[in-house]
Amino acid sequence: GIQVEQSPPDLILQEGANSTLRCNFSDSVNNLQWFHQNPWGQLINLFYIPSGTKQNGRLSATTVATERYSLLYISSSQTTDSGVYFCAVLNTGNQFYFGTGTSLTVIP
Amino acid sequence: GAGVSQSPRYKVTKRGQDVALRCDPISGHVSLYWYRQALGQGPEFLTYFNYEAQQDKSGLPNDRFSAERPEGSISTLTIQRTEQRDSAMYRCASSPGQGGYGYTFGSGTRLTVV
- Whether omega for the bond prior to residue A8 falls within 30 degrees of 0, making it cis, is yes
Cross-chain residue pair A95–B99, CB shorter than 8 Å: no
Q: How far is CA B14 from CA A102, B20, B66, B67, B112, in A?
A: 33, 13, 19, 21, 8
Across A85-104, average pLDDT = 91
Q: How many angstroms separate the CA of residue B42 from the nearest CA in chain A?
A: 5
Task: Name the pLDDT band for A107 (thresholds 50, 70, 90).
Answer: very high
Q: Which residues of A touch B108 (CB under 8 A)?
A: 41, 43
* Number of Cβ pairs < 8 A linking chain A and chain B: 60
CA distance A40 to chain B (A): 9
pLDDT of residue B98: 75
Express the helix, strand and coil content of chain A in percent, nearest 5 each.
5, 55, 35
| Mean pLDDT confidence for B92-96 | 94
Q: Mind listing the pLDDT tens digit for each residue in A7-46? A: 999 999 999 999 999 999 999 888 999 999 998 889 999 9
Determine the pLDDT at residue A1.
83
**pLDDT greater at residue B36 or residue A1:** B36
B35 vs B89: CA distance, rounded Å: 8
What does the pLDDT average to over A42-63? 95
**pLDDT attached to residue A95:** 85
| Residues B50-76: tens digit of each pLDDT | 999 999 999 999 999 999 999 999 999
Q: Do B55 and A94 touch (CB under 8 A)?
A: yes
Computed from CA positions of residues B70, B32, A5, A38, in that sequence, does the dihedral angle turn out positive or negative?
A: negative
